[in-house]
Amino acid sequence: MGIDLFDVERLHLEEGEAPLLSPEDESARDGVWERAVQANPTLFDGPVVACAGLGWAGSRTLRLSWVRVTYRHYALRRVPGATALPSLFVNVVQPADDGRVLAARMSPSTAAPGRWQLPGGSVEPPQDGEVLDETALRGQAARELVEEVGIDTPPGALRLWAVSRGKNSSIGLTYLAPALPESVLREGFAAAARADRAQGREPELDEVTLVRTPDELAGLIGPHADYLEPIVRRYTHAPLRRGA
C-alpha cells in the first residue's frame, strides 16, 4: 500500500464510540496481545486514540472522528476477519538550519526496533475535563519532541504541515518545528538519553541523523516508517512551504 499525503491547515475533531467486538474477536485479540507481551515485555496496554473516520470539512480543513481504545486494540490486525481501527499519531519535522531533516531510530526495546522515523508517538485521549483539539495535539507533538530528542519547542511554535495515511490506514499528523543548528539538535538528543538512563529507562530512540534528500534515506540500515520518505521528499521539494 502506498502512502497518501494531505495538505491541511486545520482539523475538526469529533469523538465517537469505539465499535463493539464479538466475544470471539475479543478473545482472539487478547491472545495475540498476550503473546506479543511475552515476546516484548516492555509493551504497555496504555490508552490511545484511534481514527474512526476522515473526510474534508472545507478547503484544507480535515474532519477527523476519533475514539478511545488501548494499545492492544491494534492486535486485531493479526486476527483473521477482524477489523482494527487505524491508529492516530503525531510526529514532527525538525529541520536543521542548513535544510536537513532529523530522522531517528527506535531502540531495540520498543515495539518497532531499529525503525527510522520522525520524532513522535501515538495520540493519547484527553483527561477528564479536557478536550482533544488542535491545541492539545500540538502539545502532544511538542512533548514527544522534548522527551525523545530533548528539543523544548513551545507548542505554539509548531504548525500542522501535513496529514499522512499509510500502512494499516494509520493516520499521522505531521507538525513543522522551527529550524535549529545541528549542534543544538545533537546536544538535545544526548541530554534526553542521559536523562532517561539516569531514571533507569532505556531511551526510546538510540540514534539520530540528518538527511537532506530522500536518496540519503537509502543509506539508513533498517526498516523505515512508511511516511518517512514521502515527508522528507515533500519538505525538500517544497521550500516555500517550510517557513515557520
How does pLDDT run along the chain (244 residues), one tens digit per residue? 578 999 999 999 999 998 899 999 999 999 999 999 999 888 899 999 999 999 998 888 999 999 999 999 999 999 999 999 999 999 999 999 999 999 999 999 888 899 999 999 999 999 988 999 999 999 999 999 999 999 999 999 999 999 999 988 999 999 999 999 999 999 999 999 999 999 998 999 999 999 999 999 999 999 999 999 999 999 988 654 444 3
How far apart (Å, rounded) are the C-alpha atoms in residues 149 and 106?
A: 12
Q: Which stretches of 16-143 are assigned E, i.e. beta strand?
A: 47-58, 61-70, 88-93, 101-106, 116-117, 120-122
Q: How many CB atoms lie within 10 A of CB 199?
A: 7
Kindly state the DSSP code that residue 24 receives in the 8-state scheme: H
C-beta separation of 63 from 54 below 8 A: yes
How far apart (Å, rounded) are the C-alpha atoms in residues 76 and 172?
A: 20
Over residues 93-120, the pLDDT tens digits come to: 999 999 999 999 999 988 889 999 999 9
Over residues 31-66, the pLDDT tens digits come to: 999 999 999 888 899 999 999 999 998 888 999 999
pTM over 0.85: yes
Helices (H), 4-124: 23-39
**Looking up cell 541530554, which residue turns up?**
191
Q: How many CB atoms lie within 10 A of CB 60?
A: 12
Enumerate the β-bridge partners of residue 199: none
Burial of 207 (0-12, 13-18, 19+ CB in 10 A): middle
Q: How many CB atoms lie within 10 A of CB 48?
A: 20
Q: What is the pLDDT of residue 238?
A: 67
106 in helix, strand or coil?
strand
Instruction: Return the closest-CA partner of residue 157 out of 237, 93, 205, 233.
Output: 93
Single-letter amino acid, residue 154: P
Q: What is the pLDDT of residue 244?
A: 38
To 5 degrees, how large is the angle CA 160–CA 12–CA 95?
Answer: 5
Domains in the chain, ordered, with CATH?
Answer: 7-238 (3.90.79.10)
211 in helix, strand or coil?
strand
How far apart (Å, rounded) are the C-alpha atoms in residues 221 and 114?
A: 8
